[in-house]
């Protein structure tokens, strides 16, 4: 059981990393793109916009605990 | 009629233009895999050197060799399994994973370039690993010798190598060109191994932070491209879109560095004022 937990944690850390919001947003972005495409909208612009927005959001999220602990 | 290519949309009925784009994308794929593998290989080499120089080379090299065999098994098992996934699902899966990885690499690279995070320093990491290896108690095991050196080098090579394997398999299968991706990875590993043998110290002069920035840009660009394709999108300009996407991601990332850098200075100034 302990081995299984370690195995799961390893893959979580390897794939998701230190900010789960990025992974969740990418999954949501892909799902929304697929939905829009299914509805006839060629949403090629959605993922680039998502990536452009995700980077500062993730930086802000990672900086936040450090700032809080320093104060 | 589409007959496939590196972006999956490339060579259209022998069109010279599309073949030209496809070749450019091939170069982009080679560069992305090569640079990513250089970065991972440098990091693995640092750990191997720390284990070898402090605890003895025999156990460290056995650990590295066992890790390489394990990685080979993973490639042999995962390669055909990944290739068996239908191409649209594969692009969706791989695009999503590359985008998650790319944003992660890029975020760290932007934070390092703007001063929000300490630069990756192989000399410092080597010194830390060396100190830990020297302080660790020695446990002898049959065949392996020094267990600490074995596990340190095994884990280091396996973990760094796993990223290389992931990048080669995802880029290779999605781009229908595993040999090219494998060649890029092989060249990178051989180059770093050769330099490591020649120098016998951490390769601190390799511009790792810059390379991580470039790799982050390329992983993000390919991730957006393949992820959207997997979700059913038709890119304007087909494969040529990738050659707009990657520079666009680069420009936006450089803008973020520029925007974040003055803020860092201001925070630094405030911190100094508070201390004073």
Q: Which tokens is B26 given?
A: 């091939």
Specify the pLDDT at position B29. 83
The total number of structural domains that make up chain A = 1
Q: Report, as an integer, the average pLDDT of B34-48.
A: 88
Q: Which domain holds residue B92?
A: 16-275
For residue B6, is it within any domain? Answer: no
Of A29, A31, A55, the CB nearest to B106: A55
Q: B270: nearest CA in chain A?
A: A71
For residue A9, is it within any domain? Answer: no
The total number of structural domains that make up chain B = 1
Specify the pLDDT at position A12. 85
Q: d(Cα A17, Cα A23) in Å, to the nearest integer?
A: 9
Average pLDDT of chain B? 80
For residue B7, is it within any domain? Answer: no
For residue A4, is it within any domain? Answer: no
Specify the pLDDT at position B2. 39
Dump pLDDT digits (tens) for B173-202: 877 788 888 899 889 989 988 888 887 777
Q: d(Cα A14, Cα B153) in Å, to the nearest integer?
A: 19
Q: d(Cα B143, Cα B99) in Å, to the nearest integer?
A: 42
Dump pLDDT digits (tens) for B72-104: 888 888 777 877 888 888 889 889 998 998 999
Residue B141, helix vs strand vs coil: strand
**How many angstroms away from the CA of A53 is the closest CA of chain B?**
10
Chain B residues inside the 8 Å CB shell of A58? 103-104, 107
Q: Tell me whether residues B100 and A16 touch, CB distance under 8 A.
A: yes
Q: Tell me whether residues B249 and A27 touch, CB distance under 8 A.
A: no
Specify the pLDDT at position A18. 82
Chain A residues inside the 8 Å CB shell of B104? 17-19, 22, 58
For residue B247, is it within any domain? Answer: yes
For residue A58, is it within any domain? Answer: yes
Specify the pLDDT at position A36. 96
Q: Which domain holds residue A30?
A: 17-70
B162, pLDDT greater than 70: yes
For residue B152, is it within any domain? Answer: yes
More confident residue, B248 or A64: B248
pTM assigned to the model:
0.76
For residue B252, is it within any domain? Answer: yes
Cβ-Cβ pairs closer than 8 A, A with B, add up to 90
For residue A10, is it within any domain? Answer: no
B70, B90, B101, B103: best to mutate for the A interface, most A CBs within 10 A: B103
Q: How confident is the model at residue B58 (pLDDT cuts 50, 70, 90)?
A: confident
Q: How confident is the model at residue B8 (pLDDT cuts 50, 70, 90)?
A: very low
Of A15, A51, A63, the CB nearest to B97: A15
Specify the pLDDT at position B169. 83
More confident residue, B85 or B107: B107
For residue A8, is it within any domain? Answer: no
Q: How confident is the model at residue B142 (pLDDT cuts 50, 70, 90)?
A: low
Of B92, B103, B271, the CB nearest to A22: B103
Q: How confident is the model at residue B11 (pLDDT cuts 50, 70, 90)?
A: very low
For residue B237, is it within any domain? Answer: yes
**How many angstroms away from the CA of B111 is the closest CA of chain A?**
7
For residue B255, is it within any domain? Answer: yes
Residue B10, helix vs strand vs coil: coil
Q: d(Cα B113, Cα B108) in Å, to the nearest integer?
A: 9
Q: A23: nearest CA in chain B?
A: B100
B13, pLDDT greater than 50: no
Chain A residues inside the 8 Å CB shell of B271? 70
Q: Report, as an integer, the average pLDDT of B62-81.
A: 86
**How many angstroms away from the CA of B176 is the closest CA of chain A?**
22
Task: Flag whether residue A24 sits within 8 Å of chain B, measured between CB atoms.
Answer: no
Q: How confident is the model at residue B160 (pLDDT cuts 50, 70, 90)?
A: confident
Chain A residues inside the 8 Å CB shell of B232? 33-34, 37-38
B31, pLDDT greater than 60: yes
């Amino acid at each position: 059981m302990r081995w299984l937990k370690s195995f799961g944690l390893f893959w979580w850390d390897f794939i998701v990393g230190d900010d789960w919001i990025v992974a969740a947003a990418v999954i949501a972005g892909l799902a929304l793109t697929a939905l829009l495409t299914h509805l006839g909208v060629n949403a090629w612009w959605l993922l680039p916009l998502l990536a452009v927005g995700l980077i500062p959001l993730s930086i802000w999220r990672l900086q936040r605990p450090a700032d809080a602990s320093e104060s | 009629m589409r007959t496939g290519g590196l972006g999956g949309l490339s060579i259209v009925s022998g069109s010279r233009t599309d073949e030209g784009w496809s070749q450019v994308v091939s170069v982009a794929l080679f560069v992305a895999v090569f640079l990513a593998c250089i970065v991972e290989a440098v990091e693995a080499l640092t750990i191997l050197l720390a284990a070898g120089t402090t605890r003895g080379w025999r156990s460290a090299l056995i650990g590295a060799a066992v890790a390489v065999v394990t990685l080979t098994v993973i490639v042999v098992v995962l390669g055909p399994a990944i290739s068996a996934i239908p191409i649209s699902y594969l692009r969706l899966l791989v695009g999503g994973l590359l985008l998650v990885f790319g944003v992660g690499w890029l975020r760290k690279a932007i934070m390092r370039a703007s001063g929000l995070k300490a630069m990756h320093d192989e000399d410092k990491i080597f010194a830390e690993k060396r100190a830990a290896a020297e302080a660790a108690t020695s446990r002898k095991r049959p065949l392996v010798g020094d267990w600490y050196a074995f596990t340190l080098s095994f884990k280091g090579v396996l973990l760094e190598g796993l990223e290389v394997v992931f990048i080669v398999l995802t880029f290779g299968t999605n781009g229908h060109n595993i040999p090219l991706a494998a060649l890029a990875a092989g060249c990178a590993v051989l180059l770093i191994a050769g330099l490591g043998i020649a120098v016998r110290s951490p390769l601190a002069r390799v511009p790792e932070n810059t390379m991580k920035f470039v790799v982050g840009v390329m992983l993000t660009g390919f991730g957006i491209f393949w992820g959207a394709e997997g979700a059913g999108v038709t890119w304007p300009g087909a494969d040529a879109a990738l050659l707009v996407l990657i520079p666009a991601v680069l420009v936006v990332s450089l803008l973020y560095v520029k925007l974040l850098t003055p803020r860092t200075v201001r925070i630094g100034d405030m911190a100094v004022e508070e201390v004073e």
